[in-house]
Structure 1
Amino acid sequence: MILEAATKVIEFGFNKMKLNRIEAPCMVENIQSQRVLQKMGMKLEGISREKYFIKGKYRDMAMYSVLSNEHLQN
């Protein structure tokens, strides 16, 4: 269900808003979120160390993105 909804958001961004790039950060330890982003065709760009202060400590964030031309290939 989450994957379907997120895929619709990406399609809207590329098809209706004519975006070139969509990105999504998630905490490095959140493996399930990373898997969802990968299933949506997003690629890992890198890790931002101690990027955000969440729940009492600084968290490393994984940055994922997909480009419009990559999305069309899927």
Structure 2
Amino acid sequence: MKYSICISVYNSEEIVEQFLTPLLSTNYEIVVINGGSTDRTGDLLSQFNQRIKLINQKCTRGMGKRNGQEIVNRKCHGR
């Protein structure tokens, strides 16, 4: 059975590496939605590009919980 880990981040440069690194040793699909971060979060996430599916949103305004869930449903293939 395959599982997906779906994470939404915004301006998380201080924690994103230490949070994602342990997940890389799993067999789970990892999907990260960067919600328009203005710090180095996007740059740090792009270093993981071989192992994670990165979705960059330009802006979080107007992107409600339902829209975020629809993105996750389209991009994740696990349970």
Q: Larger % of helix: which?
A: 1
Higher relative contact order (Cα pairs below 8 Å, separated by 6+ residues): 2
TM-score (norm 2): 0.38
Q: Larger % of strand: which?
A: 1
